[in-house]
């Protein structure tokens, strides 16, 4: 897929109007049955409901389960309420939470609670990719660490914020000679690839071909044609938004299910000095256009590090790993997007 750095590009290969795609006039339109997010949530300006929050402090711990999963448990005493990783996070409408790797071991990928490099009194969550942890005979090797919030019920709109810090290994990617189109930091499913009518929205960090090219934000909304084959309905992000390296920033995401006129995806960033940027602010389709019974975001990955084994290998060859630090995660039901 060619990365386009103009905002909100609608590809000519797919025509989307009110969740209907030409030339199939029978394709389902959610708006025709009044199932837009606005109808379900009582208006786009409804106040989001805080479901869970955590600063990853000392009362929180990581429990390894197997090669595919770890869990985060404990009650975060650094927040006033809703800081229990089991009783609060895994409660209506969230069905289940796990950290998902897909495979590998701690020498290849690691999740840790570490001291904040900028504040010794603060603790953060670290995702580290040293080597591809997912080996494949049919496709390229890859590295994956992600929060999996799955089996969610009637989650038609969600918001979250999280502090992030890209460490030096990600900064080195600007010196990579090749184009980078696949370094994912969040993904939202409506529905997942193993379900009928699969659809996803992916937030990425990209880079154009050439040494010294800057990193930039990008996203795409896609439907799945067949295993490994995805069609892009729309994509793009605002040009010129910085990708800070070794500096904390806060990502704010708002998402609501809907068709071309009612779906919403908004991503904003606040830098450490308080400077605010809009990465994406799009009213567009956020579900599969043919789905006769859209049921919200049953699965999503708000905290994620996912890229190719080739990218991981190049960074390791420079003496670094791909590392993202995370802190102050807050999850809401409902969207704050106006």
In the chain, what are the domain boundaries?
9-165+174-320+328-333
DSSP character at residue 134: B
pTM above 0.85? yes
Q: Does residue 230 carry a pLDDT above 80?
A: yes
Contact 323, 147 (CB under 8 A): no
Q: What is the mean pLDDT of the chain?
A: 87
Integer CA distances (angstroms), 25 to 178, 289, 292, 336, in order = 42, 12, 14, 33
Question: What is the rounded CA–CA span in Å between residue 306 and residue 68?
Answer: 14
- 3-class DSSP string for 73-91: ECECCCCCCCCECCCCCCC
SS3 316: helix
Q: Which of 22-36, 210-224, 323-337 has the lowest mean pLDDT?
A: 22-36
Q: What is the pLDDT of residues 247-258, one digit of tens each?
A: 999 999 999 998
Q: What is the pLDDT of residues 16-69, one digit of tens each?
A: 334 443 333 333 345 444 444 444 444 444 689 999 999 999 899 999 999 999
**Tokens matching residue 195:** 């379900």
The two structure tokens encoding residue 70: 């770890």
First-to-final CA distance of the chain: 31
Reply yes or no on whether the pLDDT at 215 is more than 50. yes
What is the DSSP-derived secondary structure letter of residue 107?
A: T
Contact status, residue 284 vs residue 263, Cβ threshold 8 Å: yes
Side-chain-side CA neighbours of 313 within 13 Å: the count stands at 8
């Amino acid at each position: 897929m060619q990365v386009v750095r103009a905002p909100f590009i609608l590809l000519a290969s797919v025509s989307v109007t009110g969740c209907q795609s030409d030339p199939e006039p029978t394709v389902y339109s959610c708006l025709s049955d009044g199932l837009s997010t606005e109808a379900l949530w009582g208006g786009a300006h409804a106040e989001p409901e805080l479901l869970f929050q955590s600063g990853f402090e000392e009362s929180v711990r990581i429990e390894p389960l197997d090669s595919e999963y770890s869990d985060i448990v404990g009650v975060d005493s650094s927040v006033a309420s809703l800081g229990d990783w089991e009783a609060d996070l895994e409660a209506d409408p969230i069905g289940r939470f796990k950290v998902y790797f897909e495979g590998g071991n701690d020498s290849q990928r690691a999740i840790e609670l570490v001291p904040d490099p900028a504040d010794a009194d603060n603790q953060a969550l670290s995702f580290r990719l040293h080597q591809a942890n997912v080996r494949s005979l049919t496709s390229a090797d890859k590295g994956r660490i992600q929060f999996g919030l799955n089996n969610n019920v009637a989650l038609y709109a969600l918001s979250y914020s999280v502090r992030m810090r890209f460490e030096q290994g990600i900064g080195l990617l600007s010196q990579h000679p090749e184009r980078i189109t696949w370094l994912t930091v969040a993904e939202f499913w409506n529905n997942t690839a193993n379900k009928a009518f699969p659809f996803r929205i992916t937030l990425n960090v990209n880079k154009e071909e050439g040494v010294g090219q800057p990193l930039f934000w990008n996203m795409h909304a896609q439907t799945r044609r067949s295993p490994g084959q995805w069609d892009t309905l729309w994509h793009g992000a605002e040009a010129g938004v910085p990708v800070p390296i070794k500096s904390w920033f806060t990502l704010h995401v708002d998402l609501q299910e809907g068709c071309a006129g009612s779906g919403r995806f908004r991503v904003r960033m606040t830098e450490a000095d308080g400077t605010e940027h809009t990465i994406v602010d799009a009213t567009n389709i956020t579900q599969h256009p043919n789905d006769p019974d859209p049921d919200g975001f049953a699965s999503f990955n708000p905290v994620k590090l996912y890229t190719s084994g080739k990218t991981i290998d190049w960074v390791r060859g420079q003496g670094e790993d791909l590392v993202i630090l995370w802190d102050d995660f807050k999850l809401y039901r409902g969207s704050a997007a106006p």
